[in-house]
Chains A and B, each alone.
Chain A
Amino acid sequence: MTVTVLPPGAGEVAAGTTRAALRRNFWRGVWRVLCRKPSRMAGVVIVVGFAVMGVVGPLLYPANLPRDDNALYAAPSLQHPFGTDFEGTDVLALVVTGARYVLLTGLATAVITVALGTAIGLFAGFRRGGWDTALMRLTDLNLAIPGLPLLLVLSTVWKFTSPLSMGLVLGLLGWGGVARAVRSQTLSLRERGFIEAARGLGLPTTHIIGRELLPSMAPYIAMNMLIAVTGAVYAQVGLFFLGVLPFDANNWGVMLNLAVFSGGALTTPAALPYLLAPLIAILLLTLGIVLIVDAMDEIFNPRLREE
């Protein structure tokens, strides 16, 4: 039972290099996890594709998309892969330029939902007691707000021309579920040995929450974030489709609305591509996100990250 004392330098690990190496290992692990199933790669390709579309798309087309009065509701062709709309504008161009608003809203919603939900859930679960009770009542209140009617009312006074304001409203309406779930996760994690050990060592609360609790919940939070994006896409597209929001914004929901209510896509086959294009875009985006969500658990768990 002797304690082995190793010669100095036997285990030299310079702090700086460790951190860089960790980061490198993390990304290598992420790559490995993604390669494990082709479906995950497909998901990444789809989501990255949409992101590129959102960033670069509008730059590819002139601010006012060209119209062609000779080709209203033109059938799909090489020149117009998804045909044209009621004004003779290329449907594909509409989808591409509309992506930015949709994606920005989705992103803003997700960030706000997750940031608010996580912060409130963590705080309530970690502090417990009075704070917990108060914050959870607030959460109940949030969950009880009827989102759609409220949005309908809001839209009469607010035009939502900016995707960020749209995202802000959707985010403020949607954080309740995340807060609830994060709180229950926090409650179970805080009983774990390593959290108690951190408290016993006198480590500051910010460290315990930020470095010990949060990483353990990362897969969960990331998953919620991705799902919030799809939720936000549905919500705003739905609002535009219902026509409660003004048509100033170029949006997939606007396209759906026009296709159905003006183009008669449900009765005229000629307008069908006009209806299908934004639908396919939404479906693809959702599919891409769902395929990536599948990898989250493995990405954030160092054990599953290895082979």
Chain B
Amino acid sequence: MITGTAITKTFRQRGSVLGKRDVPALRGVDFAIERGGAVSFIGESGCGKTTLGRIIAGLETYDSGEIVIDGTPMSSLSHHRRQPYFRRIQLIHQDPYSALNPTRTIHQTLEAPLRLRARQTGRPRSWVDGRAEELLSLVGIDPGYVLPRYPHQLSGGMRQRVVIARALTMDPEMLVADEAVSMIDVSLRLGILGLLRDLRERLHVSVLFITHDIATARYIGDEGEVYVIYRGQVIERGPTETIIADPVHPYTQSLLSAIPVLHGLERPGSEQVVPTEALDEGQADAGCLFARRCPFSTDRCENERPVLSGDGTVQLHACFHPRRRSVIPQGVHT
């Protein structure tokens, strides 16, 4: 189990004539991911979801807050001692084209981490090749076909499966999948999402799924939880199906309203929410971060910042005026 408390991170932007400008990427985020669970971070680009994912994978530092992995607070460990913990959390890159070394065959790509793993766990070197085949079979590709090949000889979907197999070489507890299907052909996306779901069920790997497309979050399995992140703050959080069917925060509602409707299969929701203006990350807000774009904002929203709270339910939100609205498309039976 991995938890984070009040994680903050500020990027210092350089280069402007006016000097440095601090851009808060994360403004005190809490999260908890159970073993075998599925958590999705949803938000627009620049909202901090990728930064948070990289922090959790140990690839980025954070300014304050605490991450606890299996009961061990990371702040109590030296940089060196932390590494074995973060190795249990493996990042799946968005781009399966740059995530594999073009000059190395898939066999070579899997062999190196497996050798390391064999050494760590005291297994013989002969274990390595068998394990490589096992992992490739597990992610649904034919080892005999893939192993001797170079990445450019594989399709995007196959490459992403190889990337997942490589992450599994370290027997991770959690996979952080950052937009893992956005660069994959549409007809193959569900295959990758299904694979992540399958790995949860079979290996009890937790999946942290980072995406701007909330619809894909439905497909990584049951009992998933969604965190909607806006400008570095979690503004709504709850079980995936609840957040999709009954969102109460206007930002979540505008995200869901923006999802295209497949006319002929679906009809649009009746109360769609459209932000009143475009996102301006530079603006300083004393109140709710979404107030300026929110069609329902009041004076209170402009001056006071709502915190994430739940009124005693599993669905948490950071909004003074939560209200259910029918925003998502409804299926049409033809």
Contacts and interface: CB of A to CB of B under 8 A. Distances in A.
A142 B57 CA distance: 41
Given A202-B170, A203-B116, A211-B112, A197 B143 contact: no
Interface stretch (A8-16, A156-164, A229-237): A8-16
Contacts of B147: 11, 13, 18
B145 A194 contact: no
B163 interface: yes
A193 B99 contact: yes
Contacts of B98: 192-194
Interface in A1-51: 1-6, 8, 10-15, 18, 21-22
Contact of B107 (A12, A13, A204, A215): A13
Given A6-B142, A215-B104, A200 B90 contact: yes
A301 interface: yes
Given A193-B95, A200-B59, A207 B101 contact: no
Contacts of B103: 215-216, 218, 300-302
A201 interface: yes
Contacts of A8: 133
Interface string A193-220: 1101111111110010001100110100
B143 A13 contact: yes
Given A1-B195, A22-B105, A216-B101, A11 B144 contact: yes
B112 A203 contact: yes
A212 B59 CA distance: 18
Interface string B99-124: 11111110110011100100000000
B140 interface: yes
B163 A4 contact: no
Contacts, number: 127
Nearest to B219: A1
B93 A3 contact: no
Contacts of B112: 198, 201, 203, 207, 211
Contacts of B140: 3-4
A158 to B, nearest CB: 42
B163 A21 contact: no
A83 to B, nearest CB: 50
Given A1-B198, A200-B59, A216 B102 contact: yes
Contacts of A3: 137-140, 195, 198, 202
Nearest to B139: A3
Contact of A303 (B93, B102, B116, B144): B102
Contacts of B145: 11
A11 B143 contact: yes
A8 B129 CA distance: 12
B249 interface: no
Contacts of A301: 102-103
B90, B103, B128: which has the most chain A beta carbons within 10 Å? B103
A6 B198 contact: no
Contacts of B58: 200
Given A1-B191, A10-B142, A18-B148, A200 B101 contact: no
Given A13-B129, A197-B163, A202-B87, 12 more contacts: A1-B197, A1-B198, A5-B138, A11-B142, A11-B147, A13-B133, A18-B105, A197-B167, A201-B112, A202-B116, A203-B116, A215-B104
A44 B195 CA distance: 50
